[in-house]
Amino acid sequence: MSIAIADYGMGNLHSVSKAVERLGAEALITGDRTELLAASGIILPGVGAFGDAMRHLQESGLAEVMKEVAASGKPLLGICLGMQLLFGSSEEHGQHEGLGILPGRVIRFPQGDYKVPHMGWNRLEFLQKNDPLLAGLAEGHVYFVHSYHVLPEVESDLLAVTDYGQPVTAIVGRGQVYGMQFHPEKSGELGMELLGRFLKLCGVPVKR
């Protein structure tokens, strides 16, 4: 059983792959539709601008593959920009349409007494403590780097928040679709535990 990391030309593929391997699972970096659909679960990473990422996803054909994966019930995890891409739209450098797998929009942090981008360690607050990703897990700090954040339309999709001048969406989930705004692979023990929880949801044994 392997975890496929979607390669569409934008993303922290290497660091995510190494984190999956540290957990004892096989990580396959691929942009091939057949390989993605055959995997036990999919990770959609992302670094950069929302509009550029959506263009790459559409031109590579992977936008439709991600929608197909989500509709099939196969576990799908978006990380950082990858989480934002799961939603309907973003205002980053203009208006851009997202994958629309989850309802909501991505907006820039408003002006306030804090720095943008939001960069550093912030504490998670779990809102849906019985979700399989979070059940029995202690809250703690994880590592964020982002200038835009998600406003989900459906309250039950919001699993965890952090505080950065306002409540900020940190983890989302619906069914087998999850998203983490932070980088679990750079977030120490808690980040690796969350990533390991996702792999277990995929039916993949982990070293934890």
Catalytic residues: 80, 183, 185
Q: 144 - beta bridge partners?
A: 120
Are residues 150 and 169 in contact, defined by beta-carbon separation less than 8 angstroms? yes
DSSP at 184: G
Q: At what angle do helices 188-201 and 13-22 cross, to 10 degrees?
A: 80
C-alpha closest to that of 45 among 23, 24, 68, 19: 19
Please confirm whether the linkage preceding 167 is cis (ω < 30° from 0).
Answer: no
